[in-house]
A = this chain, B = another copy of it.
Amino acid sequence: MPTDTNHIKLEEFYKRSNVKLGDLVMIETDKGTHEGILIPRYEYADAYHLVLKLKSGYNIGIDLGKIKSIKKISEKLDPVYKPDLFTKYKDYFSQKNSDRDFPQGKLPHLSLLSTGGTISSKIDYRTGGVMAALTAKELNDSIPELKGIADIDTDEVLNEYSENIKPEHWSLIAKKVASKILSGKYDGIIVSHGTDTMHYTSAALSFALQNLPIPIVIVGAQRSSDRPSSDASLNLIGACNFATKSKFSGVFVAMHNSISDDIIACHIGTRVRKNHTSRRDAFHSIDVSPFSLIKKDQVEISKQYVDLIIQERHNNVESMIVKPDFENKVSLLKFYPGFDCSMIDYCIELGHKAIILEGTGLGHVNKECFSKIQNAVNEGILIFMTSQCIWGRTALTVYDTGRDLLKLGVIPLSNTTSETALVKAMWCLGNFTEKKEVIKTMTSNIANEFTNRLVVE
Chain A residues close to B by CB (< 8 Å):
22, 24, 37, 39, 53, 55-58, 74, 77-89, 92, 127-131, 161-167, 169-170, 195-197, 200-201, 222-223, 229, 257-259, 265, 274-282, 284-285, 287-290, 303-304, 306-307, 326, 328, 330-340, 342-343, 346, 350, 352, 358-367, 387, 389-395, 397-401, 403, 412, 414, 419, 422-423, 426, 443, 445, 450, 452-457
CB distance A395 to B82 under 8 Å? no
A328 contacts which chain B residues (CB < 8 A)?
338, 340
CA distance A288 to B168 in the complex (A): 39
In-complex Cβ contact of A361 among B196, B223, B306, B332 (8 A): B196
User: With A161-B399, A258-B84 in contact, is A361–B277 under 8 Å at CB?
Assistant: yes
3 nearest A-B residue pairs (beta carbon): A277-B392, A82-B86, A78-B87
The interface residues of chain B lying within 8 Å CB-to-CB of A342 are: 350
CB contact under 8 A between A392 and B74, given known A81-B86, A350-B342, A398-B129:
no
Taking a contact as CB atoms closer than 8 A, the residue among B195, B285, B343, B389 that contacts A81 in the complex is: B285
B362:A277 contact, CB within 8 angstroms: yes
The answer to whether A336 touches B332, judged by C-beta atoms less than 8 angstroms apart, is yes
Question: Cβ of B391 and Cβ of A453 under 8 Å apart?
Answer: no
Within 8 Å by CB of A276, from B366, B392, B395, lies B392
CB pair A364 B161 closer than 8 Å: yes
**A78-B92, A340-B331, A399-B161 are contacts. A389–B281 as well, Cβ < 8 Å?**
no
| A285 and B453 in contact, given A163-B364, A337-B166 (Cβ under 8 angstroms) | no
- Across the interface, A229 reaches (CB within 8 A) one of B274, B330, B403, B457, namely B457
Q: How far is the CB of A369 from chain B (nearest CB, A)?
A: 9
Query: Min CB distance, A122 to chain B, in Å?
Result: 12
Which chain B residues lie closer than 8 Å to A390 at the CB level?
A: 275-276, 390
Residues of B close to A387: CB separation below 8 A: 277
| Shortest distance between the CB of A30 and any CB in chain B (Å) | 25
**Partner of A83 from B128, B258, B364, B400 at Cβ < 8 Å:** B258
How far apart are A166's CB and chain B's nearest CB, in angstroms?
5
CA A122 – CA B60 in complex, angstroms?
A: 56
Q: How many copies does the complex hold?
A: 2
* A114 → chain B closest CB, angstroms: 17
Further pairs besides A37-B454, A53-B454, A82-B391: 14, Cβ < 8 Å: A39-B454, A57-B412, A77-B304, A78-B87, A80-B453, A81-B288, A163-B335, A163-B401, A169-B337, A197-B336, A222-B457, A275-B389, A337-B423, A342-B350
Question: Which residue from B223, B277, B452 sits with its C-beta under 8 Å from A394?
Answer: B277
A338 touching B343 by the CB < 8 A rule?
Answer: no
A-B contact pairs, 21 of them (CB 8 A): A24-B452, A57-B393, A77-B304, A79-B87, A80-B87, A80-B287, A80-B391, A80-B453, A81-B87, A82-B391, A83-B281, A84-B258, A85-B276, A127-B403, A128-B397, A164-B401, A274-B389, A276-B455, A278-B457, A340-B352, A343-B343
The complex places the Cα of A289 from the Cα of B391 at a distance, in Å, of 19
Given the complex, which residues of B lie within 8 Å of A352, measured CB to CB?
340
Q: Which residue on chain B has the smallest CB distance to residue A304?
A: B77
Which one, B166, B200, B360, B453, contacts A162 given CB within 8 A?
Answer: B360
Closest to A306 in B: B74
How many angstroms between the C-alpha atoms of A457 and B445 in the bound complex?
Answer: 36
Find the B residue at minimum CB distance from A335: B163
Q: How far is the CA of A282 from the CA of B361 in the complex (A)?
A: 10
Pick the residue among B87, B289, B398, B452 that contacts A130 (CB under 8 A).
B398
A171 CB, nearest partner CB in chain B, Å: 12
- Could you say which of A278, A326, A352 has the most chain B C-beta atoms within 10 Å of its C-beta? A278
Closest chain-B Cβ to A33's Cβ sits at a distance in Å of: 16
